């Protein structure tokens, strides 16, 4: 077991060089953690702009502390490159590339495939490879393993080691981050699991939970995010029903939360954003077809969540009706582009679809988001405006789509004709006469 003992030795005495492929919201925090933990880290990203920013100590991920990035760069613990050949100087490689869906809601596994092929080119004896990207159960053993063996001529579990360990980055979460969130690890064999677990135990101060195979680890990640997707779909459906029955869904949730067991609160909203929750379940839907199984619950939840942006505009239309106004030519002010509060990420944000739906009805739409001054949507750049008393007073309807803490909700309430609050963001505002909740 020379390779295994040798690699464990290098991991434990921190002489192993760690390679991170993909320096996004998962890869960069991981690179900084390993560098802080005393490892030499080589980060790879295809985007030269990111590579240059990192090497200049310029941070672009809000979950990474600026001074920590500067420290590891200045102390030469971390170096970024867009030259994949640097992988030959590594002992451990973590693949943290995107796993999006294509326009048919089918998994786009091309980033995983391409990065695996790049790793295969430089794979040498005694290396450990870990895939962290959320993906369908079976990816590691059916795609990554054969590609690495074929390209290198090496044998897994003998010459090199391979595991899957799902990332658990919750963008904007001030309590849980890379270093203190439990990590699940599933190796292709006992040796791979042991080595991968040893690696994470050397740098994270959280539980490292070992499972028997990569597909268990792949499936548990899909379960985590499908659980959220389904429960958000449920609460969105409850919100629609409660509105019809003139029941305040937000009060219902607060009441349900008094149950100390067996209930976790989810909240309705304008739709499902982000690059994980709306997408990951469809990796399972796609794979399940291979087993002649149709994931009805996932698809139904998706239909409900995808309906919400349209529903928001329907509700806005009925509010405007009360003022004898139509959507057509109405001035609509959207507060919030980000897919969730207090972050600057608008991937899959429902606000983008809501704006498009309003515009299709002839509304004049402006937006203000303290974190996002402009956004790209369907090839066009959309620019926000400054939030002033005049802008608020000119809006026939203000729609709160993201509950950023930075908004001054009293100022907004005092200066708006009417507000449709899809996030219960105005819960602490005293005067609610001109506010309607989702
Ligand atoms: N949302 C609701 N109601 C809720 C919760 C969320 O409408 O009760 C919406 C949010 O506004 C947002 C979307 O769902 O548009 C997704 O929000 P999220 O916080 O569930 O998802 P992400 O993508 O920001 O981060 C998640 C992580 N979130 C949490 O665990 C709280 C976690 O599921 C994963 O670690 C991460 O995605 C990932 O990378 O999979």
Rounded distance between C-alpha atoms, residue 380 and residue 359, angstroms: 14
Report pLDDT digits (tens) over 39-80. 999 999 999 999 999 999 999 998 889 999 999 999 999 999
Residue 26 CB less than 6 A away from ligand 1: no
List C-alpha distances in Å: 238 to 154, 203, 340.
54, 43, 20
Residue 18 CB less than 6 A away from ligand 1: no
Query: For 168-204, b where at least 16 C-beta lie within 10 A, e where not — what string?
Result: bbbbeeeeebbeebebbbbbbeebbbbbbbbbbbbbb
User: Looking at ligand 1, which atom is closest to the CA of residue 168?
Assistant: 35
Report pLDDT digits (tens) over 244-291. 999 999 999 999 999 999 999 999 999 999 989 999 999 999 999 999
Residue 2: the pLDDT is 67
How remote is the CA of residue 277 from the centroid of ligand 1, in Å? Answer: 6
| Degrees to nearest 5, angle at CA 67 with 63 and 70 | 105
Residue 103: the pLDDT is 86
pLDDT means per 10 residues, the chain with 438 residues, are 88 98 95 96 95 95 91 96 92 97 91 96 96 97 98 96 94 87 97 98 95 98 97 98 98 98 98 93 96 97 97 98 97 98 94 98 98 96 97 98 98 98 98 98
Residue 1: the pLDDT is 60
Residue 269 CB less than 6 A away from ligand 1: yes
User: Looking at ligand 1, which atom is closest to the CA of residue 343?
Assistant: 24
Helices (H), 56-138: 66-74, 110-122
Ligand 1 pocket test, candidate residues 132, 231, 274, most atoms within 8 A of CB: 274
Closest CA to 307 of 358, 276, 350, 352: 350
- State the angle between helix axes of 66-74 and 48-55 in degrees (0 to 180), rounded to the nearest 10: 80
Rounded distance between C-alpha atoms, residue 72 and residue 55, angstroms: 10
Residue 134 near residue 221 (C-beta atoms within 8 A): yes
Residue 62 near residue 172 (C-beta atoms within 8 A): yes
Residue 346 CB less than 6 A away from ligand 1: no
Residue 139: the pLDDT is 98
Residue 171: the pLDDT is 80
Strands 92-95 and 17-21: parallel
User: Looking at ligand 1, which atom is closest to the CA of residue 274?
Assistant: 23
How remote is the CA of residue 230 from the centroid of ligand 1, in Å? Answer: 12
For the chain, which domains are there?
A: 2-212 (3.40.50.720), 257-437 (3.40.50.720)
Which residue's CA lies nearest to atom 7 of ligand 1? Answer: 269
Residue that has been written with the tokens 């002033």 in this structure: 388
How remote is the CA of residue 193 from the centroid of ligand 1, in Å? Answer: 28
Which token pair is 52?
């240059």
**Cα atoms in the 13 Å half-sphere on the side-chain side of 219:** 11
**276 tagged catalytic:** yes
How remote is the CA of residue 111 from the centroid of ligand 1, in Å? Answer: 23
Closest CA to 138 of 215, 192, 210, 212: 215
How remote is the CA of residue 275 from the centroid of ligand 1, in Å? Answer: 9
pTM above the 0.85 mark? Answer: yes
List C-alpha distances in Å: 346 to 239, 306, 371.
23, 16, 10
Ligand 1 pocket test, candidate residues 135, 170, 183, most atoms within 8 A of CB: 170
């Amino acid at each position: 077991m020379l390779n295994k003992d040798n690699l464990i030795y290098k991991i434990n005495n921190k002489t192993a060089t760690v390679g991170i492929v993909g320096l996004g919201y998962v890869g960069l925090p991981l690179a900084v953690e390993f560098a802080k933990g005393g490892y030499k880290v080589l980060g790879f990203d295809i985007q030269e702009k990111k590579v240059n920013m990192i090497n200049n100590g310029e941070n672009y991920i809000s979950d990474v502390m600026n001074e920590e990035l500067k420290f590891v760069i200045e102390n030469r613990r971390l170096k970024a490159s867009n030259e994949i050949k640097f992988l030959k100087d590594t002992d451990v490689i973590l693949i943290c590339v995107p796993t999006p869906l294509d326009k048919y809601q089918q998994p786009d596994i091309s980033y995983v495939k391409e990065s695996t092929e790049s790793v295969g080119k430089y794979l040498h004896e005694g290396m450990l490879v870990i895939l962290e990207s959320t993906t369908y159960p079976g990816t590691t053993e059916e795609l990554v393993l054969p590609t690495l063996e074929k390209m290198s001529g090496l044998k897994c579990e003998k010459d090199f080691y391979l595991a899957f360990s799902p990332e658990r980055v919750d963008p904007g979460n001030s309590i849980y981050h890379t270093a203190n969130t439990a990590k699940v690890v599933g190796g292709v064999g006992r040796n791979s699991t042991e080595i991968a677990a040893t690696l994470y135990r050397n740098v994270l101060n959280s539980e490292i939970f070992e499972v028997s195979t990569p597909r268990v680890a792949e499936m548990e990640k899909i379960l985590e995010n499908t659980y959220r997707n389904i429960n958000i779909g449920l609460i969105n459906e409850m919100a629609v029903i409660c509105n019809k029955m003139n029941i305040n869904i937000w009060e219902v949730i607060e009441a349900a939360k008094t149950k100390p067991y067996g209930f976790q609160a989810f909240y309705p909203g304008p739709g499902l954003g982000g690059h994980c929750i709306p997408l990951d379940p469809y990796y399972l839907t796609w794979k399940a077809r291979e087993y002649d199984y149709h994931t009805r619950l996932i698809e139904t939840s998706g239909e409900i969540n995808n309906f919400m942006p349209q529903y928001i505009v329907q509700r806005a239309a009925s509010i405007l009706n009360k003022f004898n106004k139509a959507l057509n030519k109405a001035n609509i002010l959207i507060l919030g582009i980000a897919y969730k509060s207090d972050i600057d990420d608008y991937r899959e944000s429902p606000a983008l679809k809501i704006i498009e739906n309003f515009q299709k009805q002839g509304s004049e739409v402006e937006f203000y988001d303290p974190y996002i001054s402009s956004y790209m949507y369907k090839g066009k750049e959309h620019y926000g405006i400054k939030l002033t008393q005049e802008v608020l007073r000119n809006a026939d309807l203000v729609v709160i789509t993201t509950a950023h803490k930075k908004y001054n909700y009293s100022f907004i309430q005092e200066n708006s004709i009417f507000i449709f609050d899809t996030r219960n963001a105005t819960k602490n505002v005293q005067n609610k006469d001109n506010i309607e909740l989702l």
